[in-house]
Chains A and B, each alone.
Chain A
């Protein structure tokens, strides 16, 4: 198997019930079949198929040239991916867990994000960094971080997070095809979420938010792992006579001002839900920019329902940390309702 070989193009697959992990796997597989310049490497992504099995079977299909286990060094993984991209490849690399991406911080922030700008657009880096993130899986220390705010604070990066298998497939294919570097944040508590899919599926563009459930009273903004929580909250709220509109952001950077703003102007109230700590978190940006642009449409301050401002807790304590439908409804109850 060489990089010059032309593989058969992707055809339709029969309908199947797929987990998010399987949908991600299919997205990488189809991208690699379509484009011989896509290569995959990282820790344990080869014969093992990744610790979450997202790369299962790819080593067998594409061989050592295109799918390889790298030395255990995240800066090295991202740094070498940058060199490969300069030479015309499209690397897809994995950071095994959220908190293990930090050794790569310098390569991501100082080079991956800036290369296109500092070379006046001459060098694009079409690299996807897959990061399984967030908690709710009973993980031990350093296995449950939500580090999206670091990446979103860095100009030059595109940061997305799917919440369901269909988006996982569609958005990952779009991320791999993108000429911009993409931080692809996979909510690991949703890896086993199942959906009936006929691949290849194309959902809304990767850089847009979608209204998942329409409502009239409140706009509830979520992404990745908290979308399911937001939908459950909306269901629960209906019993209380409250109509919640749920938005799945999907793209954290860029932020889809248009879709979210339109919803907010309709409902006049909004809250944002994420697992990460509140202070300096992504929700702060959401609340600030929505307020700046829609102040006179607001009936109440925009709320942030998030993890506490503490390090992610150990497994027996994470249930107290994570935002729940009850906690979200209680927060909405603090508004004055006239």
Chain B
């Protein structure tokens, strides 16, 4: 028996058309787009450049992970429009609350590849300066970071600052209780926060229709008393227009907004996932043909805003970044075992000092043994030294 019984009571009207400004074929949309207008060509060119560079980084890091150089890497391939539009909507003083899938958002905000990759190389859980970049650590427990964004935005409001917080969420995360609490707190407190939900249609293997029964995630905003927008998440022009408006609205006291970008996770969840068990290559091909970068490229070329020379220049920039990313792998891993004890508490603890001293002595002993010609001790199955 399936729990997903068809209910005669609940009406699941088909989802509306997502808001878009440039269609799948790269043509500007002529019908009404909810009052949103196409960003100017220069802005679009900037977004195009950032998407191309971000994709090259993403592809490079996925390759490094397949080579076993990184522990894991959740790819955002195909989701560049959502990621880049979100970051581009923010002022330098605003805060971003990303998840593990949003490394290209970090890159676009100026975090260096070696600092992004520190966590995926296994050096430390978060490898960049959060205050320098105004980016919270990439959150792994789903939707938890949305509450942090609401809290920071509320603090900004209490201090009468103009700082806005933006958080990136996935479609699966909207099932979590923390997503509900974040939406509700934000609305009740009228926090200057923007929720950008990247609906990439899969929570690892589980499709969205097993997460929820309503038409769109954006519809949920109505229940919280905030505006919600259902946007073509592969149309960077639309994502940028809507997200920028939401950020402006937050900054001027208008409160929170929920933006849903309908997109698709082209890659596997991570390198340890096997998507062939839950979707076909044909499914993926459909979405490859809706590629956010190609679509914008077609449009920019058609209006004469992207020359071959500019395109080559952007490609060179992306290749330089890929090379720099590969070079990161030659950097020594910054993992000092004694640092394990240094940041747990602001107030030093005698018990941790003891454990630190214990590890230091153990390391010194190992080093001394390594200095001898004899091999280091090997444990037998019984645990006694061999």
Q: Find chain A residues with CB under 8 A from B28 CB.
A: none
Known: A76-B181, A86-B136, A254-B351. A180 touches B151 (CB 8 A): no
Q: Is B343 an interface residue (CB 8 A)?
A: yes
CB distance from B384 to the nearest CB of A (A): 23
A71 touches B349 (CB 8 A): no
Which parts of B84-123 form the interface with A (CB within 8 Å)?
A: 95
B158 touches A180 (CB 8 A): no
CB distance from A258 to the nearest CB of B (A): 8
Q: Is B218 an interface residue (CB 8 A)?
A: no
Q: Find chain A residues with CB under 8 A from B165 CB.
A: 83
Name the residue among A4, A107, A119, A258 with the largest chain B CB count within 10 angstroms. A119
Query: When each residue 88-131 of chain A gets 1 if its CB lies under 8 Å from chain B and 0 otherwise, what string results?
Result: 11000000000000010011001100111111111110000000
A79 touches B181 (CB 8 A): yes
Known: A106-B144, A107-B147, A255-B351. A80 touches B345 (CB 8 A): no
A84 touches B137 (CB 8 A): no
CB distance from B231 to the nearest CB of A (A): 25
A71 touches B184 (CB 8 A): yes
A57 vs B349: C-alpha distance in the bound complex, in angstroms? 36
Known: A75-B177, A121-B343. A65 touches B158 (CB 8 A): yes
A80 touches B185 (CB 8 A): yes
B137 touches A89 (CB 8 A): no
Q: Is B51 an interface residue (CB 8 A)?
A: no
Q: Is A2 an interface residue (CB 8 A)?
A: yes
Name the residue among B163, B184, B345, B350 with the largest chain A CB count within 10 angstroms. B345
A119 touches B155 (CB 8 A): no
Q: Is B360 an interface residue (CB 8 A)?
A: no
A158 touches B345 (CB 8 A): yes
CB distance from A113 to the nearest CB of B (A): 9
**Minimal Cβ-Cβ distance residue in A for B139:** A111
Q: Find chain A residues with CB under 8 A from B152 CB.
A: 83-84, 86-87
A120 vs B351: C-alpha distance in the bound complex, in angstroms? 19
**Minimal Cβ-Cβ distance residue in A for B124:** A120
Known: A71-B181, A87-B155, A106-B141. A118 touches B150 (CB 8 A): no
**Minimal Cβ-Cβ distance residue in A for B132:** A122
A39 vs B154: C-alpha distance in the bound complex, in angstroms? 12
* Chain B interface mostly: helix
**Minimal Cβ-Cβ distance residue in A for B339:** A120
Q: Is B52 an interface residue (CB 8 A)?
A: no
A130 vs B126: C-alpha distance in the bound complex, in angstroms? 29
Known: A80-B147, A83-B151, A122-B129. A71 touches B188 (CB 8 A): yes
A254 vs B148: C-alpha distance in the bound complex, in angstroms? 27
Q: Which of B124, B148, B182 interacts with A111 by CB under 8 Å? A: B148
B346 touches A179 (CB 8 A): yes
Which parts of B343-375 form the interface with A (CB within 8 Å)?
A: 343-347, 349-351
A178 vs B345: C-alpha distance in the bound complex, in angstroms? 10
Q: Is A155 an interface residue (CB 8 A)?
A: yes
CB distance from A293 to the nearest CB of B (A): 10
A89 touches B155 (CB 8 A): yes
Which parts of B137-180 form the interface with A (CB within 8 Å)?
A: 137, 141, 144, 146-156, 158-160, 163, 165, 177-178
**Minimal Cβ-Cβ distance residue in A for B341:** A117
Q: Is B25 an interface residue (CB 8 A)?
A: no
Q: Find chain B residues with CB under 8 A from A2 CB.
A: 159-160
Q: Is B278 an interface residue (CB 8 A)?
A: no
Q: Is A70 an interface residue (CB 8 A)?
A: yes
Q: Find chain A residues with CB under 8 A from B131 CB.
A: 122-123
Q: Is A134 an interface residue (CB 8 A)?
A: no
A79 touches B150 (CB 8 A): yes
A83 touches B153 (CB 8 A): yes
B144 touches A80 (CB 8 A): no
A82 touches B160 (CB 8 A): no
A-B contact count (CB 8 A): 147
Query: When each residue 176-207 of chain B gets 1 if its CB lies under 8 Å from chain A and 0 otherwise, what string results?
Result: 01100110110010000000000000000000
Q: Is B130 an interface residue (CB 8 A)?
A: yes
Q: Is A81 an interface residue (CB 8 A)?
A: yes
Q: Is B320 an interface residue (CB 8 A)?
A: no
Q: Find chain A residues with CB under 8 A from B182 CB.
A: 76, 79
A119 touches B148 (CB 8 A): no
A178 touches B346 (CB 8 A): yes
A80 touches B150 (CB 8 A): yes
Q: Which of A76, A82, A111, A254 interacts with B184 by CB under 8 Å? A: A76
CB distance from B154 to the nearest CB of A (A): 6
CB distance from B214 to the nearest CB of A (A): 21
Q: Which of B95, B146, B346 interacts with A124 by CB under 8 Å? A: B346
A86 vs B136: C-alpha distance in the bound complex, in angstroms? 9
Q: Which of B129, B148, B346 interacts with A116 by CB under 8 Å? A: B346
Q: Is B342 an interface residue (CB 8 A)?
A: yes
CB distance from A32 to the nearest CB of B (A): 13
A120 vs B129: C-alpha distance in the bound complex, in angstroms? 9
Which parts of A275-317 form the interface with B (CB within 8 Å)?
A: none
Q: Is B125 an interface residue (CB 8 A)?
A: yes
A66 vs B154: C-alpha distance in the bound complex, in angstroms? 11
Q: Is A3 an interface residue (CB 8 A)?
A: yes
**Minimal Cβ-Cβ distance residue in B for A255:** B351
Known: A3-B158, A84-B151, A119-B130. A257 touches B351 (CB 8 A): yes
A70 vs B177: C-alpha distance in the bound complex, in angstroms? 16
A84 vs B95: C-alpha distance in the bound complex, in angstroms? 12
**Minimal Cβ-Cβ distance residue in A for B148:** A83
Name the residue among A65, A76, A106, A156 with the largest chain B CB count within 10 angstroms. A76
**Minimal Cβ-Cβ distance residue in A for B125:** A118
Known: A39-B158, A116-B345, A180-B347. A83 touches B126 (CB 8 A): no
A119 vs B147: C-alpha distance in the bound complex, in angstroms? 18
Which residues of B pack against A, CB within 8 Å?
Answer: 95, 124-126, 129-131, 136-137, 141, 144, 146-156, 158-160, 163, 165, 177-178, 181-182, 184-185, 188, 339, 342-347, 349-351
Beyond A155-B344, A158-B347, 12 additional pairs, beta carbon < 8 A: A76-B147, A76-B150, A79-B151, A82-B147, A86-B148, A107-B178, A110-B144, A116-B343, A117-B125, A121-B343, A123-B137, A158-B345
Closest 3 CB pairs of A and B: A83-B151, A79-B147, A80-B151
What are 29 residue pairs bridging A and B, where the CB atoms are less than 8 Å apart in the complex? A3-B159, A39-B158, A65-B158, A70-B185, A73-B181, A76-B182, A79-B144, A79-B151, A79-B178, A82-B148, A83-B148, A83-B152, A83-B154, A84-B152, A84-B155, A86-B148, A86-B151, A89-B158, A106-B178, A107-B178, A110-B144, A117-B125, A118-B124, A120-B339, A120-B342, A180-B347, A254-B350, A254-B351, A255-B351
